[in-house]
Amino acid sequence: MKILIACEQSGTVRDAFIAAGHDAMSCDILPSDKPGPHYQGNVLDVLGDGWDMMIAHPPCTYLSTSGLHWNKRRPERAQQTEDALRFVREFLVADIEHIALENPIGCISSRIRKPDQIIQPWMFGHDASKATCLWLKNLPLLCETDLVEPRLVAGKRRWANQTDSGQNRLPPSADRAKIRSVTYQGIADAMAAQWGSL
């Protein structure tokens, strides 16, 4: 299949589909972290180029629940959320047969529609927690591939990327958002194996 991986800088999902034998290209306004087929520019420039499938990762800065509280304190952020939602809608209505859009829990669920599925890295072989919503068009739900059991802290489930209180262990840094946005390899491999076999 001819597959567009929209808003992906890491190349992780792109390379998983290429390894599974597909013609996949990533696209982002930034260059790819890894060599491989990549369009650096606005994804809307290539959205109508005859793709069989698209996996879209729109930026979550103005969409995720963790940042929406800033909209009341900084009025300009509320407009950025509206712009981000318009961008998401462009993906969801694209003329592409198979579409998966992923994002953390946030306002897409309340402003556009509920996700079809919420997955976790620990369902796909990673000792990590990061709830990720999937909005799907003509794609089945992803089946877990390798369940990782949590550690228990005072009766609560915690994974290696979490503190005992449940916060993310990754400290603040200039590249924290970029690091957190990379798709876990086990999830990318599951997408390629399960959706690439359609």
pLDDT of residue 43: 97
99 CA to centre of own chain:
12
Residue 2: beta bridge partners?
Answer: 23
Residue 125 reports pLDDT greater than 90: yes
Residue 72 reports pLDDT greater than 90: no
Torsion of CA 13, 16, 17, 20, to 10 degrees: -170
Structural domains in the chain? Answer: 2-195 (3.40.50)
Mean pLDDT of the chain: 93
pTM for this prediction: 0.92
d(CA 118, CA 124): 13
**181: Cβ–Cβ under 8 A, 6 or more apart, which residues?**
9, 10, 57, 59, 60
Residue 173 reports pLDDT greater than 90: no
* Residue pLDDT, tens place only, 20-65: 999 999 999 999 999 999 999 999 999 999 999 999 999 987 678 7
Residue 178 amino acid letter: K
For tokens 């990673």, the residue is 126
Residue 85 is inside which H or E element, if any?
helix 75-92
d(CA 142, CA 140): 6
